[in-house]
Every structure is written in structure tokens, then in C-alpha cells.
Amino acid sequence: MLSLPTQDRLSAPVPSVFPAVRAQVGLAPYTSFRVGGKAEWYAEPRTEEDLQACVAWAHSQSLAITMLGSGSNLLISDAGLSGLVISTRFLKQFALDDQAGRVVVAAGTPLPALSRRLARRGWRGFEWAVGIPGTIGGAVVMNAGAHGGCMADCLVSAQVLGADGIELWTPEQLDYGYRHSSVQGSDYIVLSTTLQMEPGWDPELVKAQTNQALRARKTTQPYDLPSCGSVFRNPLPESAGHLIEAMGLKGYRIGGAKVAERHANFILNCGDAKAQDIFFLIRHVQEMVRDRFSLNLHPEVKMLGEFQPV
């Protein structure tokens, strides 16, 4: 279990140039699973300058930093997280370059909102993102994708914050692969990204294609209960959902967590799940598929904090 902050750390001074850093903030409301313990420290910067001040303060206090976007691809342990959790949910700045057909968006911009906004302008290239409940920052890190499209298809550059300041990374530096980038597992923080779109299309056509992508997602995936989206990466050319379904695991339940009946690559919080229930269910699914098919299912969901071993 994580220890509570010491009195010295609770009394550590915080800078006044951004909204107050708060201690012992519950994280469950900020994740799509609706589970998870408390953050030792929590901040919601409103600007990139605020975010940089948060990072500088955390470094001055020797605190680990965890970035939190929409919380849609995270499983945070019931024990919570030590260090500083920085939410990007207020970082939604947006700028268009009509002549170049490019859009610059801050890390906290929700993917569905951006997809719809671009569709209304008749800009193609982001229809696939309308049903992904994440943010631009997380999408850059994960190379998020759906319906045959992904971030690697449209990303021009990403502005990231590292130990030496702000850097501009190219797609080559991001080294994109299937649900992978070189930012993963690093200390770099995505601040914003520039995307190349295809302007000049009939807005009604692009909106129709965007709505079609959303309908396709809603008819095949569960949206009625909290989840993180797809739990496992597809072990290409196989489908994780098909493998789990073949094991007869649809509806299988541990505590308040169960494998969705509509799509087996989803795990649902039935209302009273703990993060530990979901963790145990993930491990059970992995074990069953490995024993039957000799395949390892790698989680797409990022698990943070300490979990009890199976």
C-alpha cells in the first residue's frame, strides 16, 4: 500500500501562479473506469505555462509526475498514486491554419469534440476519432486509432516538454507503431500537436461520415457501463476480442468487474467494482488465452499504482 504523505510534504510550498495544487484528491471521478484511490498531490493547470510551473514544482520536491487526460485508458490502483498527478482537462486551446489545412490543438482537447469540429468545417482526416473517449495528448502517446485511421496518418509534429525544455518532435522521432510511440515510458510530456487535415470538402458529407463512424462503434461496443475502452492490444492478425470470446469469457465476472457481452475486449465496472477486481479479471483473461492459444495478450490499458499479485 502507498503511504500517506508526510507532514513535511503536505506543508511543502506550492507556487501561486496556477490553480492550487491539492493534496489527497480521489481519482475515481477522473477515470472512465470510475475506480482508483487518491492522488498524493493533484493539479489542473489552465495553460502550458501553468503546466510547466507544476512540473518545476514537482521536480523541486522530488515528486513523481503522472499525466492524466480523460482517464479513458487508465486503471489506477485502489491504493492511489504517490507524487503529483497533473490533469490536462482544461488545456483545450485550438488554432486553425485555413490556408495550410492544419490544426494545432492542446493536449487536453477531447478527440470526439475535435472530430466533430473539423467535420463541421468540411475538413476530412479525423472522422475515425469521433468515438474514442480520449484526449489529443493520450492519442499522441498511444498512436490511438480506429476504423482504419490513426494519429500517425495525420500528425505533423508534437510539442513535448522534457528535462531540457520544450521540443518539437517529428513523426520519425515519435517512432510510431501499433498503439506505440517513443513517448511511452519516457519522462516527456505532450503539450500540443499539429495535425494535417484535408480541407475543402462538403461539411454535410464529412459530418455524415463522422456520424457513421460513431454509429459503427456504438453498435459493436458497450457504452452503458464504465469501461476503459479496449483492454488488450490485438495480437495481429488475431483479434483480442475474438480470442476472449472463443474462451467463453463473455459475461465472466470477478467482484464488480465483468467481461462485456457485446464486445469481449471490454471490461465493465458493474457499479461496485474495485480496481483490484478489474486487475484480477485482466490477469485471468490473459492466463486463459495464453493456456489455450499460446498467445500473450498485452494490455492496451495502462495500469498505475500498486496492485496485489494474483
What are the residue numbers of the active site? 179, 230, 300
Q: How far is CA 82 from CA 68, 206, 295, 300, in A?
A: 14, 44, 34, 23
Q: SS3 of 24, please?
A: strand
How many CB atoms are closer than 10 A to CB 129? 28
Give the Cα separation of 109 and 262 in Å (integer): 29
Give the Cα separation of 176 and 182 in Å (integer): 7
Identify whether 199 is preceded by a cis peptide bond (ω within 30 of 0). Answer: no
Give the Cα separation of 297 and 179 in Å (integer): 14
Contact 53, 18 (CB under 8 A): yes
| Beta strand extents in the chain (DSSP E only) | 22-26, 38-43, 65-68, 74-76, 81-87, 94-97, 102-106, 145-146, 149-150, 155-162, 165-169, 189-196, 253-254, 257-259, 267-269, 302-304
